[in-house]
Every structure is written in structure tokens, then in C-alpha cells.
């Protein structure tokens, strides 16, 4: 509750009854049963426990987003694997097609170098 520009918690005013979430104007329950708080943890907190509950809800949202991201990655994993395999084949094909350039040069260089040191001047 707000008194003179300051946030005063119920336990500070002598009231030991904690406000239940269902009775708070900042509490909302969705059609699917999901709980949401519309309060601002920096200005409209009524009870100290509200902050802990608010943190749990935010943590739950973060975990939910992370799980959604994992499901998204799982859907694309087979396609990504196929794409990597295809790219690997293309790179191997390119390497194989250019191999003749390197192989001939190596063989020719080897022959030249062997003859040079064995031939008398």
C-alpha cells in the first residue's frame, strides 16, 4: 500500500494478514489457468512475498521460452543434418574434381627433384 509517496508493506502497519494473490488487483488468471501479475515490482508491491512470487512467474516464463526454442530446434534438426550432408558431398565433389591439378603437379615435382640430385654435373 502507498502512504505519502512510500511503499508500506502490510506487516509494517501492524496488519499480519498477508494479502492473497487472488484478492490483489494486480493478479490475473488466464483462461488456460496461467497466472500473471500486472504489478511493477519497483513501485506497486503490496507484500514482500509478492516479489518472490513475481520472480517465480518470470522464471517460469523464461523456462517456457527456452523450451519453445528447443522444440523449434528439434523440428529443424533433420533438415539441418540433410543440409550439412549435402554441403559435405558438394565440397568433396569439388575437391575431387580439382584433385587432378594437385596430383599431377606433385608427381611431376617429385620426378624433377629426384633426377636433379642423382645426375652428375
pTM: 0.48
Cα dist. 30→74, 109, 111, 112, 113 in Å?
Answer: 29, 77, 81, 83, 82
Checking if the pLDDT of 78 tops 90, the result is yes
Q: How far is CA 121 from the centre of its chain?
A: 70
Per the structure, the complete domain to which residue 6 belongs is given by 2-118
* Other C-beta atoms lying within 10 Å of the C-beta of residue 57: 13
First-residue to last-residue Cα distance in the chain: 105
pLDDT tier at 16, thresholds 50, 70, 90: low
Checking if the pLDDT of 96 tops 60, the result is yes
From CA 22, how far away is CA 5, in angstroms rounded?
Answer: 25
Checking if the pLDDT of 104 tops 90, the result is no
Number of domains in the chain: 1
Amino acid at each position: 500500500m502507498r502512504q505519502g509517496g512510500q511503499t508500506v508493506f502490510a506487516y509494517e502497519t501492524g496488519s499480519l494478514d498477508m494479502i492473497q494473490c487472488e484478492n490483489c488487483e494486480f493478479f490475473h488468471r488466464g483462461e488456460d489457468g496461467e497466472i500473471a501479475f500486472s504489478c511493477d515490482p519497483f513501485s506497486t508491491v503490496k507484500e514482500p512475498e509478492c516479489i518472490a512470487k513475481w520472480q517465480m512467474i518470470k522464471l517460469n516464463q523464461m523456462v517456457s521460452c527456452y523450451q519453445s526454442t528447443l522444440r523449434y530446434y528439434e523440428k529443424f534438426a533433420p533438415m539441418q543434418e540433410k543440409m550439412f550432408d549435402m554441403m559435405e558431398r558438394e565440397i568433396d565433389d569439388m575437391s575431387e574434381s580439382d584433385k587432378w591439378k594437385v596430383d599431377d603437379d606433385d608427381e611431376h615435382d617429385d620426378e624433377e627433384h629426384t633426377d636433379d640430385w642423382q645426375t652428375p654435373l
